[in-house]
Structure 1
Amino acid sequence: MASLKEVKGRIASVNSTRKITSAMKMVASAKLHRAQNSITNMLPYEKKLHAMLTAFLSNEADIQSPYMEVRPVKRVAIVAFSSNSSLCGAYNANVARQLNLMVEGYESSIGKENILVYAVGKKIAHEAKKEGFNVAGEFLQMADKPSYQETFDLVQKLMKMFVDKEIDKVELLYHHFKNTASQILTRETYLPVELPPVEKSNENHWALDYIFEPSEADLLATLVPQVLGLRLYTALLDSNASEHAARTMAMQIATDNANEIIQDLTVLYNKSRQQAITNELLDIIGGSFK
C-alpha cells in the first residue's frame, strides 16, 4: 500500500490538474457561446441565398455558369479545416484520418502531386506535411479568428483556378456543429456548383416569377461569388464552433475523471491513515503487556 505522503501528493497533483481542466472548460464554453451565435445567425442567410442561386440556375435553362461545369477530374483541391491547438478530443484526428482517405481515393487515378491541400488550421497543416501531401496554402490565423475577408480571398483564388481549369474540382472537409455533444465530420463538393433536382410541384417554384434587373448574366456574376464566399465562411464558422464544443466536452470529461480519481485517492488515504493509526495502537497495547 502506498504511503500517506505519496497518496497525499497524488491528491494534490490531480487537484491541480482538475483546476486547469475546469478553467479550460469554462474558457472553451465562453468561446463556444460566441461561435454558436455566429453560426446560428449566419446559417439561415447562407442557406436562403444558396437556395435562390440553385433555383435560379435550375429554372433558367439559357443561363450557364462556368462554375457549374462538370469535367473529368485531373486536378483537385481539398480545403480541410482543423484547430490550431489540441486538447479537443478526437476533433483533429478525425479530420486527419478523413483527409488521408480522400487523398488515397484520388491518388490512384490522378496521382498525389495533383491533389492540392489548403489547410485551415495548424494541426491539419502539420499532418498534411507529415504525410507528404501537396500543401498549396496554409491559413492558420483564420482557424482561431474567422475572417470573411481572408475567406473571400481564398474563395476568389479557388474560383479563378477552377475557371482557368487549373483545378477541376474543389472539396471541403470540416465539422458541422450540431450541438455541444455532437459535431458531424462533413465532406462536400464546393466546385462545381451542384444543383439539386427541382420538382415542378415544389412550393419554391415561385422562383420562375423573378424579374431580373439589369440582366440574368449580371445577377449571376454577382450572386455566384457571394454565395460561394458565404458557403466557405459558413464552413469556417461551423468548424470553429465545433472545435470549441469538442474542447468543452473533452475538458468536462477530464474534470469529471479528475473528480473520480480524487475521490478514490481520498478513500485510499483514509484507509491508509486508519491502518497506520491501528498499527500504532496495536504497538502501544502490545508494549503495555511486556
Structure 2
Amino acid sequence: MASLKEIKTRIASVNSTRKITSAMKMVASSKLHHAQVAIQNMLPYESLLEHILKSFLVSTPDARSIFEESHSEVRRVALVVYSSNSSLCGGFNSNVLKLMEQVIHEYQKQGVSEFVVYPIGRKVAEKVAKLQIPSAGDFLELAEKPSARACAEISRALTEAYMGGKIDKVELIYHHFKSAGSQILTRRQFLPIDLSTESIGSMNDRDLTSNLVTAKAQEYLRKKGASKKREQEAAVPLNDNFLVEPDLATVMQKLVPKLLNLMIYTALLDSNASEHAARMVAMQTATDNADELLRDLSLQYNKSRQAAITSELLDIVGGTVNN
C-alpha cells in the first residue's frame, strides 16, 4: 500500500493536471464559438450563391461546365487533407490520417500511382513527409487562421491543373461540423464537380446554436430539433427563358469557380470548428477523469490515514496494558 506522503503527492499532481485540462477546455470552447460565428458569417453568401446557381441550372438545362467533364483515365489524384497543427483533440487527427491512407490504398489498387497532397495542418504535413508523398506546399497557417483568399488560391491552382490535364481527380478529406458533439469524417469529391441541383447545399446541416457537449445536452438538442428539420429550398426557375450575356459558357466559367472556392473554404471552416469541438470534448473527458481519480485518491488517503491512526492507538493502548 502506498504511503500517505505518496498519495498526497499524487493528489497534488492530479489536481494540477485537472486545472490545466479545465483551462484548455475553456479556451477550446471560446475558439469554437468564434469558429461557429465564422461559419454563420459565411452562410448568407453560400445560400445566395446556391440560389443563383440552382435557378440558373434548372432554367438552363443545356448549361455545362468544363469542370463537370471527367477525364477518360484517372492516373493522377490530388487530395486536400485538413488536420490541426496541435494535438490533444482526441482522435481528430488520427481519423483524418487513417482515411487519407485508406483513400491512397484504394487508388493504388485501381492502378493510380501518382498522388499530390495539399496538407492543411501540421499533422497531415508530417504524415505526408513520412510517407514520402509529394506535397503541394506549406499551408500550416490556414489551420490556425482560415482565409478565404488563400482558399481561393488553392482552388485556382487545382482547377488550372485539372484543366491542363496535370490532375485527373481531386478529393477533400476533412471533418464536417454538424454540432459541438458531432463531427463527421467526410470524403468529398471536388473535381470533377457534381452540379446536380440535388447535391448543391446538401452539406448545410450544421447546428450552430450550442457549445454544449454533454450527453444530456445533445439528447435535448436532438429532441428539440426533431420537429424543426431544415427544409431544402426548392430549385424554382426565376424565369422561363434566361437571356445570357455575353454567353452561357462565360457565365458558367464565372459561377462554378466561385462554388469551388466556397467548397475549399467551407471545408476549412468545418475542419477548424471540428478541431475545437473535439479538443473541448477531449479536455472535458480528461477533467471528468481527473475528478473521478481525485475522489478515489482522497478515499484511499482517508482510509490509509485512519488505519495509521488506529494502529497508533492500538500501540498506545497495548503499551498501557503491559505497564
Say whether the fold is shared (TM-score over 0.5).
yes
Matching residue of 1:45: 45
The residue that corresponds to 1:104 in the other structure is 105
Q: Output the CA distance in 2 between the equivalents of 1:172 and 1:58.
A: 27
Shift of 1:59: 4.7
SS in 1 for 2:167: coil
Residue 273 in 1 paired to residue 274 in 2?
no
The aligned amino acid for 2:26 is M
Contact 1:58/1:195 (8 A) holds in 2: no
CA distance in 2, matches of 1:146, 1:82: 13
Q: Alpha carbons of 1:135 and 1:110: their partners in 2 closer, same or farther (altered >3 Å)?
A: farther
Measure how far apart 1:94 and its partner are.
0.4
User: Which stretches in structure 2 are left out of the alignment for 5+ residues?
Assistant: 199-232
CA–CA separation in structure 2 for the residues paired with 1:53 and 1:148: 20
Alignment-derived partner of residue 216 in structure 2: none
Residue in structure 2 matched with residue 163 of structure 1 by the alignment? 163
Residue 257 of structure 1: aligned partner: 289
- Aligned to 1:95, the other structure's residue is in SS state helix
Q: After superposition, where does 1:139-150 map in structure 2 within 5 Å?
A: 139-150=139-150
Q: Distance in 2 between matches of 1:15 and 1:232?
A: 42
1:53 CA displacement: 2.8
Matches within 5 A, 1:108-257: 108-112=109-113, 114-196=114-196, 203-207=234-238, 209=240, 210-257=242-289
Alignment: residue pair count: 286
Displacement of 1:161 after TM fit?
A: 0.2
Deviates more, 1:150-159 or 1:135-144: 135-144
SS, match of residue 136 in structure 1: coil
SS in 2 for 1:110: coil
Deviations 1:192-245 (Å, cap 9, x if unpaired)? 1113267xxx94231554443444333222212211111110110000000000
Q: Greater CA deviation, 129-138 or 186-195? A: 129-138
Unaligned ranges ≥5, structure 1? none
Shift of 1:57: 4.1
Q: Which residue matches 2:82?
A: 81
With structure 1 as the length reference, what TM-score do the two structures score?
A: 0.93
Cα separation, partners in 2 of 1:90 and 1:138, compared to 1, 3 Å: same
What is the CA-CA distance between 1:282 and the residue it aligns to?
0.5
User: Is this contact kept in 2: 1:96–1:127, CA < 8 A?
Assistant: yes
SS at match of 1:10: helix
- Compared with structure 1, are the counterparts of its residues 157 and 22 closer, same or farther at alpha carbon in structure 2 (3 Å cutoff)? same
Q: Please say if residues 75 and 110 of structure 1, whose CA atoms lie closer than 8 Å, have aligned partners that are also in contact.
A: no
2:32 corresponds to which residue?
32
Q: Using the alignment, how far apart are the partners of 2:94 and 2:238 within structure 1?
A: 43
Query: Does the aligned pair in 2 maintain the 1:106–1:115 contact within 8 Å?
Result: no
Tell me the C-alpha RMSD between the 2 structures.
1.9
Q: Is the 8 A contact 1:8 1:269 kept in 2?
A: yes
Task: Give the SS at the match of 2:194.
Answer: coil
1:51-98 residue CA offsets vs partner (Å, 9 max, x unmatched): 533553465344432111112211111100000000000000100010
Bigger helix share: 1
Displacement, 1:45?
2.9
C-alpha distance in structure 1 between counterparts of 2:152 and 2:195, whole Å: 22
| Offset of residue 48 of structure 1 | 4.3
Structure 1 segments, 4+ long, off by >6 Å, are none
- Report the TM-score when normalising by structure 2: 0.83
Percent identity, aligned pairs only, is 52
1:1-27 deviation line (CA, Å, top 9, x unaligned): 110000000000000000000000000
